[in-house]
C-alpha cells in the first residue's frame, strides 16, 4: 500500500531543488495532470513532491507552503488522507498492475479534503508493462483535481505515451562537498560527522539524511554500523590467507541476516576500498580519517594492483546485488574472491 512520505519536512528543503519552477506552476493555477521528476537517486524528488503538494493545497495561496495552515501541517506530518505515495512492495523490484489498480480504486471516489489530491509514484521506472498500461488509462482520463507525480531515475523504461503526458522537471546530482555543506548549515551536524556521511553517501542526499539520523525510516545506527563494519573489513584483510575464507563467509552471514541494511553497509565498504586506493597519493582526502593509521598499516602489506582488484570485485558485487542475485551467495562470492586473490 501507499508509502509514508519522507520524514524530512518540506520547509527545510535546500535551495538547489527546482522549487521556483514548481512555485510558478502553482501560481499560474495550471496544475498539470502529471509531472515527471527525473534525476539520480537522492536528489530530493520525494521532498519536492511534498513541497508541491503543500503549495497546491496551502490556505495562504502564495504559491509556496505557509507551513502553518492545517493542510500544510498534515502533509508535512504524513497524515493527510489525500496524499498517496506508491512504490515497489517490500523486497520487490517492480511495481505491479495490482498496485496501480488499487490506486485507481482509491482515486475513483472524491478526495477527502484536499483541493488537489496527489498520487506520487516513487521509482515509477520500475513499473512493469502491465502496470504502465493501467496507469496510462488514468493519465488519459484523470479524476478531477488529482495530479500524478512520477519520480524516476531513468526515462527509458517508461512508455512514450506516458512520457508525453507528463511535464518533465529535472533534478541535478550534488557533489559530496555540497551535501556536507547542507548537513552542516541546515541540519547542524559537526564538520567531522558531515565529512564522513557525505563521503559515504556520495551524491545521494536521501541516504545522507538517513545515515545522519535526520530521516531515519528503517535505517541502522550509522555510527555503530560503520565502526563495526570497518573493523571487520580490516580484520578480514589482515587475517592469514588460510583463515580469511572462513572469516569472509562469517561476515557475509552477518550482513545477509539484515538485508534492509545492505545498501548502507555496501556504501561503507565502498569508502574503505576507495580510501585504500587514494591513500598513497591523497591521505588527507580519505573519508575515514579516524582509521588513517590502520589503513596505512594494511596498505603496506598489499600491492596497489591488488587494491585496484578489490575495487573491481566490489563494483561487480554491487551490480549483482542490484540485479536479482541472492544476497548471501553474492556476498559469499565477493569475500571468497578477496581471500583467494593472489
Sequence-ordered list of residues with C-beta below 8 angstroms from that of 54, at least 6 positions apart, any chain: 10, 65, 67, 71, 72, 75, 76
Reported confidence tier of residue 15, pLDDT bands at 50, 70, 90: low
- What per-residue confidence (pLDDT) applies to 215? 60
Mean pLDDT of the chain: 88
pLDDT tens digits, one per residue of 208-255 = 888 887 665 555 678 889 999 999 999 999 998 888 899 999 999 999
Mean pLDDT of 247-274: 93
Cβ atoms of 104 and 30 within 8 Å: the answer is no
CA dihedral 113, 144, 139, 40 (to 10 degrees): -40
Query: Residue 140: is it exposed, middle or buried by C-beta count within 10 angstroms (0-12/13-18/19+)?
Result: exposed
Instruction: Write down how long the chain is.
Output: 342
Q: Tens of pLDDT along 70-124?
A: 999 999 888 999 999 999 987 778 999 999 999 999 999 999 999 999 999 999 9
Provide the whole-model pTM: 0.69
Q: Are 211 and 201 in contact (CB under 8 A)?
A: yes
Residue 179: which of 8, 16, 4, 309 has the closest Cα? Answer: 16
Best mean pLDDT range from 9-18, 67-76, 317-326: 67-76
Q: Which CATH superfamily is domain 10-170 in?
A: P-loop containing nucleotide triphosphate hydrolases (3.40.50.300)
Identify the bridge partners of residue 146 per DSSP, sorted by sequence position: 117
Which residues share a beta bridge with 167? 35
Q: Could you tell me the residue ranges of all domains in the chain?
A: 10-170, 174-219, 221-340
- Distance CA(342)–CA(340), nearest Å, equals 6
Tell me the mean pLDDT in the region 20-29.
91
Q: First vs last Cα of the chain: how many Å apart?
A: 49
Q: Residue range 53-57: average pLDDT?
A: 95
β-sheet bridge partners, residue 277:
none
Statement: 221-340 belongs to CATH 1.20.272: yes
CA 235 to chain centre: 30
Amino acid at each position: 500500500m501507499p508509502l509514508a512520505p519522507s520524514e524530512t519536512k518540506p520547509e527545510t528543503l535546500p535551495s538547489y531543488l527546482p522549487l521556483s519552477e514548481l512555485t510558478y506552476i502553482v501560481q499560474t493555477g495550471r496544475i498539470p495532470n502529471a509531472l515527471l521528476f527525473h534525476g539520480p537517486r537522492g536528489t530530493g524528488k520525494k521532498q519536492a513532491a511534498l513541497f508541491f503538494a503543500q503549495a497546491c493545497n496551502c490556505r495562504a495561496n502564495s504559491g509556496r507552503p505557509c507551513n502553518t495552515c492545517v493542510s500544510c501541517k498534515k502533509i508535512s506530518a504524513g497524515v493527510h488522507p489525500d496524499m498517496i505515495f506508491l512504490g515497489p512492495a517490500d523486497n520487490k523490484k517492480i511495481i505491479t498492475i495490482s498496485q496501480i489498480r488499487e490506486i485507481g480504486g482509491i482515486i475513483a471516489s472524491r478526495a477527502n479534503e484536499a483541493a488537489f489530491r496527489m498520487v506520487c509514484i516513487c521509482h515509477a521506472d520500475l513499473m512493469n508493462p502491465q502496470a504502465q498500461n493501467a496507469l496510462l488509462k488514468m493519465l488519459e482520463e484523470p479524476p478531477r483535481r488529482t495530479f500524478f507525480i512520477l519520480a524516476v531515475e531513468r526515462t527509458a523504461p517508461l512508455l512514450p505515451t506516458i512520457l508525453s503526458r507528463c511535464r518533465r522537471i529535472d533534478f541535478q546530482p550534488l557533489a559530496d562537498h555540497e551535501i556536507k555543506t547542507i548537513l552542516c548549515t541546515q541540519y547542524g551536524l559537526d564538520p567531522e560527522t558531515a565529512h564522513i556521511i557525505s563521503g559515504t553517501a556520495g551524491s545521494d542526499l536521501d541516504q545522507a539524511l538517513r545515515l545522519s539520523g535526520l530521516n531515519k525510516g528503517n535505517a541502522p545506527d550509522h555510527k555503530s554500523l560503520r565502526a563495526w563494519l570497518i573493523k571487520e573489513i580490516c580484520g578480514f584483510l589482515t587475517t592469514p590467507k588460510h583463515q580469511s575464507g572462513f572469516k569472509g563467509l562469517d561476515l557475509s552471514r552477518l550482513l545477509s541476516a539484515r538485508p534492509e541494511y545492505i545498501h548502507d553497509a555496501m556504501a561503507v565498504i565502498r569508502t574503505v576500498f576507495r580510501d585504500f586506493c587514494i591513500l598513497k597519493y591523497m591521505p588527507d582526502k580519505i573519508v575515514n580519517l579516524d582509521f588513517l593509521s590502520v589503513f596505512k598499516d594494511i596498505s603496506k602489506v598489499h600491492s596497489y594492483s591488488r587494491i585496484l582488484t578489490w575495487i573491481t570485485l566490489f563494483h561487480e558485487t554491487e551490480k549483482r546485488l542490484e540485479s536479482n542475485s541472492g544476497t548471501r551467495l553474492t556476498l559469499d562470492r565477493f569475500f571468497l574472491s578477496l581471500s583467494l586473490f593472489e
